[in-house]
Structures are given as structure tokens and as C-alpha cells.
């Protein structure tokens, strides 16, 4: 579905990503993990067209997208939920969700998707008439994810969805992502919470200083001595 081949990215003259390659197959839950400032967010920004690589290629559904603008990439079925729980504070929960469906024309199907989101995130249904600014951190993150799903994407990209949440809430958000995958949406997530994510994913990639240094099944990476020492403190 998504094939990233040896992309390199610089901010001005500073190298951020160095010949990164990875793939995501349809129906998979894939994670890229690593410490802060490893370049994880830049990978998602590059795939979604917010940043363009100076080398390498990106293909989605066998079509090149590395030079496409963000709106065209989104229209092809990629939804990017950036870090920071960015929602519209002055809009209600329901209005925020409908913004996520702005590219869809069938009102009946949009309403069906809205009800699916309320079933997946019951708290949002309870809060649907409240403004975004009244929500807690966990509720805001749920809203950000649900809004990304309102477009019915083929690929949902999540940038550190647990950032700033309590351990209980962050685990709940990550578990919800597994439910989303089971419902048929392919997921690419970048995260710092290595243990929680690698327990769930089909495949993981470890990013360090702009380079992928390890890859494999989630359970294989968790069993790695390097991962246990570097990220789990064991």
C-alpha cells in the first residue's frame, strides 16, 4: 500500500532523515518508534506532503506521491493526525467531526460514519454539543483521531497519539487504535511509548538520529537486547 524508498530530508542544511525505507501493507498496524527528535514526525509530514524529500521516492497504491501537495495526497486516502491534539476549540465536537468529512458528498454516509465514531468513542457522543475548548486532554485526542477517520481514509497516520496523556489514558488510546485496525483501517503510527505499541503492531521500525536501525515484528523487537537496554531500561 505505502512504499517509502530511501527518502532523505533536510531542514535548511540540517539533515533530518537519511535514506529511510519502509513499507506498510494494507490492513497492517505499523509503528515507527524512537526517542524524541529522532525524526519520527518528519516521516509522517513527508508522506503527507507537508515536507518534500530532496532524495528518494514515496508510492501510495502504486502511484508516486513524493512531489504531490498535501490536499491531493489526502484526497487519495491518507489521513494525517499530527501531534498536539489539534482541534477547533470554538467548534462543537460534532462540528469538528464534520470538518473531517468535508471532502465527502453523501450526507447519509457521513452521518453513518459519525455514528460509527460515537460508537467507537462514547465519550464524544456525550460531549457532541460541547465546544472543543471544554474537553480534557484525553477527549481532545479521541476527537483528533475520530476527525481523521471521518474522511474514511485507506491509511490513517498518527503522530504520538499518547503524548501528554496519563499512562491509563495513553494505553486506552493505543488500544483504541488496535480496534480501528480491526475494523479495516490501515495504521501507521509514530510513538515514544515503545512497549505498549510494539505489543500490538504487525511490524515495527526503530528510528535513531534519522536512520532506521532495526525492523521486524513487534514481539521480535521487544525481545531484542538493544531495545530492552536502550528503551526499556532492562
- Domain span at 220: 2-230
- pLDDT of 68 > 60? The answer is yes
Residue 167 maps to which CATH number? 3.40.50.300
pTM: 0.89
Residue 30's nearest CA partner among 205, 149, 185, 222 is 205
State pLDDT tens for residues 20-55. Answer: 999 999 999 999 998 877 799 999 999 999 999 999
More confident residue, 85 or 136: 136
The count of domains in the chain is: 1
**Sign of the CA dihedral running 30, 168, 233, 224:** negative
The answer to whether the beta carbons of residues 16 and 68 sit under 8 Å apart is no
Burial of 225 (0-12, 13-18, 19+ CB in 10 A): exposed
Residue 231: band (very low, low, confident or very high) from pLDDT cuts 50, 70, 90:
low
| Residue 47 confidence (pLDDT) | 98
Work out the mean pLDDT of the chain and round it to a whole number.
91
Q: How far is CA 11 from the centre of its chain?
A: 22
User: What mean pLDDT do residues 73-93 have?
Assistant: 92
Q: State the virtual CA torsion across 11, 17, 23, 28 in degrees, nearest 10.
A: -80
Distance CA 62, CA 202 (A): 21
CA-based R_g, the chain, Å: 17
Amino acid at each position: 500500500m505505502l512504499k517509502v524508498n530511501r527518502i532523505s530530508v533536510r531542514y535548511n542544511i540540517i539533515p533530518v532523515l537519511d535514506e529511510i525505507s519502509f513499507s506498510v501493507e494494507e490492513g497492517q498496524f505499523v509503528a515507527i518508534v524512537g526517542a524524541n527528535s529522532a525524526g519520527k514526525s518528519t516521516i509522517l509530514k513527508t508522506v503527507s506532503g507537508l515536507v518534500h524529500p530532496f532524495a528518494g521516492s514515496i508510492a501510495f497504491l502504486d502511484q508516486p506521491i513524493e512531489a504531490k501537495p498535501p490536499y491531493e495526497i489526502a484526497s487519495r486516502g491518507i489521513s494525517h493526525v499530527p501531534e498536539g491534539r489539534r482541534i477547533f476549540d470554538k467548534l462543537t465536537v460534532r462540528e469538528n467531526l464534520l470538518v473531517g468529512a468535508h471532502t465527502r458528498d453523501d450526507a447519509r454516509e457521513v452521518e453513518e460514519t459519525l455514528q460509527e465514531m460515537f460508537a467507537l468513542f462514547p465519550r464524544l457522543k456525550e460531549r457532541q454539543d460541547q465546544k472543543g475548548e471544554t474537553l480534557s486532554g484525553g477527549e481532545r485526542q479521541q476527537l483528533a483521531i475520530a476527525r481523521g477517520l471521518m474522511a474514511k481514509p485507506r491509511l490513517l497516520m498518527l503522530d504520538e497519539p499518547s503524548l501528554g496523556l496519563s499512562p491509563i489514558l495513553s494505553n486506552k488510546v493505543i488500544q483504541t487504535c488496535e480496534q480501528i485496525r480491526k475494523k479495516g483501517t490501515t495504521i501507521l503510527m509514530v510513538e515514544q511509548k515503545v512497549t505498549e505499541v510494539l505489543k500490538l503492531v504487525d511490524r515495527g521500525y526503530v528510528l535513531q538520529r534519522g536512520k532506521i536501525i532495526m525492523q521486524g515484528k513487534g514481539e521480535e523487537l521487544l525481545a531484542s537486547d538493544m531495545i530492552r537496554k536502550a528503551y526499556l531500561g532492562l
